[in-house]
Structure 1
Amino acid sequence: MRKFGLLIAAALLIAPGSAMAHRLIDANEAVTVARSDLAVVPQIEWNRISQRPGSNAERWTLDGELLNDVLFFGEVASGDTLFREVNRRETPLPQFASDMLLVDLPDFVESSLRIAKGASTFTTTSVEPTQFLGQGGVRFEFETLGSDDLRRKGIAVATIIDGELFMMLYEAPSLYFFDRNRADFEQLVASAHLG
Structure 2
Amino acid sequence: MSVKIRLQRHGKKGKPFYWVVAADARSKRDGKYLEKIGTYNPNTNPATIDINVDSAVKWLNNGAQPTDTAKAILSYKGVLLKHHLEGGIRKGALTQEQADAKFAAWLAEKDNKITSKKDGLSSNKADVKAKAIAAEKEVNAKRVAAAKEALAAAVVEETVAPEAEVAEENNEETQA
* TM-score (norm: length of structure 2): 0.26
Q: Which has the larger radius of gyration?
A: 2
Which structure: greater helix fraction? 2
TM-score by length of 1: 0.25
